[in-house]
Amino acid sequence: MLTAILHFTRLGRAGFVFAREGVFALADPLALPPGPRLGLRLARLIERGGAASDAARLGTALSRLGPPYVKLGQFLATRPDVVGQKIAHDLELLQDKMPPFPQGEAEAEIAEALGRPVSQLFAAFGPPVAAASIAQVHKAEVDGADGRRTVAVKVLRPGIEARFQRDLDSFFYAARLAERQSAEARRLRLVATVETLARSVAIELDLRLEAAAFSELAENMKDDPDFRVPKVDWDRTARRVLTTEWVDGIPLNDRARLAAAGHDLPRLGRALIQSFLRQAIRDGFFHADLHPGNLFVDAEGRLVAVDCGIMGRLGLKERRFLAEILYGFITKNWTRTAEVHFEAGYVPPHHSVEDFAQAIRAIGEPIHDRPADQISMAKLLTLLFEITALFDMRTRPELLLLQKTMVVVEGVARALDPKLDMWTTAEPVVREWIERHLGPIGKIEDAAQEIGGLGRLIGSAPGLLSRAAGTIERLDAQTRDGLVLSPETVDAIGRAEARRSRWMTLALWAIVAILAIWLLR
């Protein structure tokens, strides 16, 4: 009871801040039942005056509520099915910028995490150059065998874990309450959405995992000439501290500097799209926060991505789904595109493949009628997910994260080249994956894997049979003279039986009576 009161208090404070900043003005009262509609009108009575934009209202409210709500807002930008397209778009504009915490606290955190004072770890350690909701970054220098080098040092905010845990508990409480009351909330899987947010935050709060993400992404893309990530300094990395190579590059959104340095902007746009698709389709592990602030161009013309705190993963089934969906739209094969949804288990089998193909055609045909530079792959995925509710397709958080990242990546690429042809750019990456994995070579490899799995099962059969025989022998020995239970077990069974409900007892007596009548007839 006390826990519920605490959750209601925290959520009530959040509701007050939203009302005060005018966030509830974004809701459509006509779409609400009478009770919530009245609550919405009452909440608007305390609205602060002013004509701030919708995005500014949201941003101000979330920033006032603190880092967990800023992170929640950024996460909900990936869930237009939950908050609506308009609010999701406004949340995409939310900047994760917070005031820095003091230099002394940062140095104390580093010393505690790495076991040595900052003066012994770094030849120079500067003030923060960027501060966000979870951590801030300092520019520093270290001495090594190859001379002095510049590094970026990321430090978690003091006490941030406890604050996130407290607010995440309240988010879970609200999601469970909503799912108990609403079938639509259950379809949207609000509890699973909060679980996804909690996992994402857990990874961001352990900087060793972000360091591992840097390392995995670098390994996956080591042979790609257009994309790289900074190297990790593992000796100066711990759970609350991450040290990486400092990136000396031009921000990707500074087009004037890029052009002055002689970089080919359309080539950079194509490289960004293809690099992201390779990460998602080929590797199943993609950088899910590729906004312009996290992208630079180095002197060799390579894209450099920083901040691997938010990463996405796709299993082989999801990668095949994505590749075949995109290729189906490229080739206008609507039936095959629909079949992929059913084969992946995303659409329940009681629906018609033909009806779903018709819905997909309604999305795809208008896109193909437009000039190439007006076709949006992100818009395609958005429309595709919009029709899923009509076919009882349950929300897939990993695909929504992919869609959100595609929206951002496409926007950045189009800023570099407004005439970018998305289909022509994507086609080589998608076709290569399909030919590799769904062509003859891929089928041979799948068959080899299945044979290998069967071989491992056959190889383990003697051990399984031996363990089964041993289990049967022990069971026979234990039951030969009757199964003996300890007094504690007997007492526990008695207490459990005593707790059986009155209805269970009546049901048992009813069964006995029916059996007696049947035997005596």
Q: Read out DSSP for 101-142?
A: PPHHHHHHHHHHHHSS-HHHH-SEEEEEEEE-SSEEEEEEEE
Residue with tokens 């300094």: 233
Could you please report the per-residue DSSP string of 5-25? HHHHHHHHHHHHHHHHTTGGG
Closest CA to 199 of 51, 311, 275: 311
* SS3 state of residue 148: strand
**Measured distance CA(353)–CA(341) in Å, rounded:** 9
The pLDDT value recorded for residue 397 is: 64
Alpha helix stretches (DSSP H) within 154-264: 160-181, 183-188, 190-204, 207-220, 255-260
Flag whether pLDDT at 454 surpasses 60. Answer: no
Closest CA to 292 of 411, 381, 376: 411
Mean pLDDT of the region 468-483: 58
The pLDDT value recorded for residue 4 is: 75
pLDDT tens digits, one per residue of 45-62: 787 776 566 667 777 888
Q: Which residues pair with 250 in a beta bridge?
A: 297
**Measured distance CA(192)–CA(401) in Å, rounded:** 14
CB 230 within 8 A of CB 214: yes
Output 20-24 pairs: Cβ under 8 A, ≥24 positions apart: 20/46, 20/47, 20/48, 20/61, 21/47, 21/48, 21/57, 21/58, 21/60, 21/61, 21/64, 22/47, 22/48, 22/50, 22/52, 22/57, 23/57, 23/58, 23/61
Its pTM stands at 0.71
Structure tokens at 192: 């699973």
Chain centre to alpha carbon of residue 320: 19
How far is residue 491 from each of residues 486, 487, 498, measured CA to CA in Å? 9, 6, 11
Q: Which residues pair with 151 in a beta bridge?
A: 140, 245
Flag whether pLDDT at 347 surpasses 70. Answer: yes
Q: Which residues pair with 147 in a beta bridge?
A: 144
**Measured distance CA(38)–CA(206) in Å, rounded:** 43
**Measured distance CA(54)–CA(146) in Å, rounded:** 52
Mean pLDDT of the region 377-397: 69
The pLDDT value recorded for residue 338 is: 85
Structure tokens at 353: 């493949």
Structure tokens at 490: 């007997």
CB 364 within 8 A of CB 332: yes
Catalytic, 223? Answer: no
**Measured distance CA(313)–CA(189) in Å, rounded:** 19
Instruction: Indicate the angle between helix axes 54-65 and 67-76, nearest 10 degrees.
Output: 140
Catalytic one among 81, 96, 233, 289? 289
Structure tokens at 419: 């005439």
Q: Which residues pair with 495 in a beta bridge?
A: none
Mean pLDDT of the region 274-284: 94
Average pLDDT value for the chain = 79
**Measured distance CA(363)–CA(369) in Å, rounded:** 11
Alpha helix stretches (DSSP H) within 278-352: 316-331, 334-343
Residues making up the chain, counted from first to last? 521
Flag whether pLDDT at 141 surpasses 60. Answer: yes
Flag whether pLDDT at 1 surpasses 90. Answer: no
Q: Residue 518, Cβ neighbours under 10 Å: how many?
A: 8
**Measured distance CA(269)–CA(279) in Å, rounded:** 16
pLDDT tens digits, one per residue of 282-338: 999 999 888 888 999 999 999 999 999 888 888 888 888 778 877 887 778 888 888
Q: Among 188-192, 352-356, 366-370, name the one with the lowest average pLDDT.
A: 366-370
Which of 180-189, 218-227, 496-505 is the most confident on average? 218-227
Flag whether pLDDT at 158 surpasses 60. Answer: yes
How far is residue 425 from each of residues 78, 406, 420, 429, 503, measured CA to CA in Å? 24, 14, 8, 8, 67
Flag whether pLDDT at 518 surpasses 60. Answer: no
CB 78 within 8 A of CB 400: yes
Mean pLDDT of the region 187-201: 82
The pLDDT value recorded for residue 515 is: 47
Burial, 24: exposed, middle or buried (Cβ in 10 Å; 0-12, 13-18, 19+)?
A: buried
Enumerate residues 6+ apart whose C-beta is below 8 A from 261.
250, 297
The pLDDT value recorded for residue 478 is: 55
pLDDT tens digits, one per residue of 87-131: 776 776 666 678 899 999 999 999 999 999 999 999 999 999 988
Instruction: Indicate the angle between helix axes 422-438 and 316-331, nearest 10 degrees.
Output: 130
The pLDDT value recorded for residue 154 is: 97
Chain centre to alpha carbon of residue 438: 27
First CA to last CA across the chain, in angstroms? 55
**Measured distance CA(259)–CA(201) in Å, rounded:** 37
The model's confidence at residue 207, banded by pLDDT at 50, 70 and 90, is very high
Alpha helix stretches (DSSP H) within 371-439: 377-386, 397-416, 422-438
